[in-house]
Amino acid sequence: MSQREQWSSKLGFILAAAGSAIGLGAIWKFPYTAGQNGGGAFFLIFILFTLLLGLPLLLAEFSIGRTAQSNAVDSYKKIAPGTKWHWVGILGMVTSFILLSFYSVIGGWIVAYLFKAVTGEMNGLSSEQYGELFGATISNPGLSILVQFIFILMTILVVAKGVQDGIERASKIMMPALFVLFIILVIRAVTLDGAMEGITFLLQPDFSKVTSQTILEAMGQSFFTLSVGVSVMVTYSSYLPKDQSLPRSAGSIVAMNLFIVLLAGLAVFPAVFAFGLEPGAGPVLLFNVLPTIFNQLPFGMLFFIAFLVLFLFAALTSAFSMLEIIVSAISKGEPAQRKKWSWIVGLAIFVFGIPSALSYGVLADVIIFGKTIFDLADFTVSNVLLPIGSLLIAIFIPLKMKKTALYEELKRGSSLKRGLFETWYFLIRFVAPILIIAVMLDVLGII
Ligand code: PHE
């Protein structure tokens, strides 16, 4: 058997895992979900869930992956042989499949905007005109499918090449660049006339707006942004050398992610209020707001193009992880198999995602459970499948892994204090399952 691939450096793993985490979740989904859920209170609850559930679960997935050193399905088989626990990995594969099917629609929107910005079609319009241009773009069936295809194609090409060559290299430049551009964007947004209202909206909690739905969405958002509950992080950490500190990696990924979420909020909401846009506009929010802010900067369109390139990159590094978990579980590290399955699975996801792409146009009137096809896919993944996957992982850890072995694994390469470990274990064993179940029962109206 060939030797298992490994990340070529510690930094490589952090960047890839952070690349999986940081993506549309923080930049696109957070602003629109916060906007629909009243702003500040949602943000606060999201932060609490990230610290109480997201971070511990991220660490849980890391410890499963590095203990087992295998893909999402076989990892569970190795740790709990002869049981049904590997279904958690299969659930992760299914979740990733649906996730990428609508993720690629948004990825496609970035591609479409990029084309339009480069050809100069977006120079100097008013915020209303940007809204109209965007609406026309995403309701055009041929175009939305084309750009979705381009996004998936880029994902397939990289995943087909394999872990080291594919995913790792570019992250080193693109991620820091994204941070820098975001900071410029925030500075411009918060200095707009009328920005204060947006800052207050984001940072001042108004608990009168909190419903069961808000809490569920904040929980789903925290799983979504950290890529937990899908065993993506199990897969990624399985390529990790044994001397890398898992707690430190998890901590820095969470910190970076929260920072990007904050930046996204501080870029979007001041502009939304300054330009009189609608915070509850839904998935189109970011795309309506962005060009308007860039338009207010000198050389705005150049900045906008640079931003779109980096944003596209951030979305792609997340998309890679979704396809990677499926392909690595099927191909089991065989290069030829990897190539073949990257194409088969990638194209299947594309076909499956077409209805989501069309749900802003010709299929806009198809409403299932009160939602468009796109919204239904998003809701099912974020608020049903991710919580279930996370719940199962939280149950798996104390049930099937030895506490002493977990402590050893987490202590490797770090000076993890016993007390901190016990806190983590307590959060995973008691807090995570109880909280996830309570939130779900609450939404179903059972408690
Ligand atoms: N965390 C990614 C994002 O925020 C989405 C993701 C979720 C990726 C689950 C992989 C697994 O964009």
Ligand 1 atom nearest 386 alpha carbon: 9
Does residue 50 line the site of ligand 1, with CB under 6 A? Answer: no
Please give the Cα distance from 4 to 274 (Å, whole number): 53
Please give the Cα distance from 183 to 202 (Å, whole number): 17
Alpha-carbon distances of 276 from 64, 80, 182, 238, 285, rounded to whole Å: 48, 55, 22, 48, 12
The count of domains in the chain is: 1
pTM of the model: 0.94
Q: What's the pLDDT at 447?
A: 78
Q: Is residue 4 part of a domain?
A: no
Does residue 23 line the site of ligand 1, with CB under 6 A? Answer: yes
Residue to mutate (ligand 1; options 101, 225, 388; most atoms within 8 A of CB): 225
Q: Is residue 271 part of a domain?
A: yes
Q: Is residue 436 part of a domain?
A: yes
Q: Is residue 41 part of a domain?
A: yes
Query: 399 CA to middle of ligand 1, Å?
Result: 27
CATH number, residue 254: 1.20.1740.10
Query: 90 CA to middle of ligand 1, Å?
Result: 17
Least Cα distance to 140 among 101, 110, 112, 99 occurs for: 112
Q: What's the pLDDT at 10?
A: 66
Q: Is residue 2 part of a domain?
A: no
Query: 225 CA to middle of ligand 1, Å?
Result: 5
Q: What's the pLDDT at 224?
A: 97
Query: 223 CA to middle of ligand 1, Å?
Result: 8
Q: What's the pLDDT at 164?
A: 57
ipTM over 0.90: yes
Q: Which domain holds residue 181?
A: 10-443
Q: Is residue 219 part of a domain?
A: yes
Ligand 1 atom nearest 257 alpha carbon: 4
Ligand 1 atom nearest 23 alpha carbon: 12
Q: Is residue 230 part of a domain?
A: yes
pLDDT tens, position by position, 16-67: 888 899 999 999 999 999 999 999 999 999 999 999 999 999 999 999 999 9
Ligand 1 atom nearest 315 alpha carbon: 12
Does residue 389 line the site of ligand 1, with CB under 6 A? Answer: no
User: How much is the mean pLDDT over the chain?
Assistant: 92
Does residue 224 line the site of ligand 1, with CB under 6 A? Answer: yes
In this prediction, the residues of the chain whose per-residue pLDDT falls under 50 are 1-2
Query: 227 CA to middle of ligand 1, Å?
Result: 4
Please give the Cα distance from 188 to 325 (Å, whole number): 38
Q: Is residue 3 part of a domain?
A: no
Does residue 321 line the site of ligand 1, with CB under 6 A? Answer: yes
Does residue 322 line the site of ligand 1, with CB under 6 A? Answer: yes
Ligand 1 atom nearest 26 alpha carbon: 4
Query: 313 CA to middle of ligand 1, Å?
Result: 13
Residue to mutate (ligand 1; options 57, 233, 321, 328; most atoms within 8 A of CB): 321
Does residue 230 line the site of ligand 1, with CB under 6 A? Answer: yes
Ligand 1 atom nearest 314 alpha carbon: 12
Residue whose CA is at the smallest distance from ligand 1 atom 7: 227
